[in-house]
Amino acid sequence: KAGVTQTPRYLIKTRGQQVTLSCSPISGHRSVSWYQQTPGQGLQFLFEYFSETQRNKGNFPGRFSGRQFSNSRSEMNVSTLELGDSALYLCASKPGAGPDYGYTFGSGTRLTVV
């Protein structure tokens, strides 16, 4: 069973640009969440999606957005990139919307903003 797939693995962007990151959840998983991991702030919640609906959003500026498609694949977008957006962005999926599952995480996309 394939795991959570995130593309691309590495990305270098310039300040002011925008970026789109992609996540394919485990087959059959309908709940997808995104997290940002940095050395200073640790792991911070970005968004949660279920059945194409955003159920929860973390404390990030509006430059961070996301969506989920009907096949449960998800994308997140960051516009007007800042140096501080450099981080490992992790996607996680689980079967349903209920709390009684543990998330399976992908390997992440490492974004570097220069």
Partner 1 sequence: AQSVSQHNHHVILSEAASLELGCNYSYGGTVNLFWYVQYPGQHLQLLLKYFSGDPLVKGIKGFEAEFIKSKFSFNLRKPSVQWSDTAEYFCAVNAVNAGNMLTFGGGTRLMVKP
Site string for partner 1, 14-43 (x = CB under 8 A): -----------------x-x-x------xx
Instruction: List the one residue from 26, 85, 94, 109 that touches partner 1 (CB under 8 A).
Output: 94
Q: Where are the beta strands (DSSP E) in the chain?
A: 5-7, 10-13, 19-24, 31-38, 42-50, 53-57, 64-68, 74-78, 87-94, 104-105, 109-113
- For residues 110 and 108, what is the distance between their CA atoms, to the nearest angstrom? 6
Instruction: List the one residue from 45, 60, 65, 79 that touches partner 1 (CB under 8 A).
Output: 45
Write out the residues near partner 1 by the rule CB under 8 A: 3-4, 31, 33, 35, 42-45, 48, 55-56, 58, 90, 92, 94, 97, 99-100, 102-108
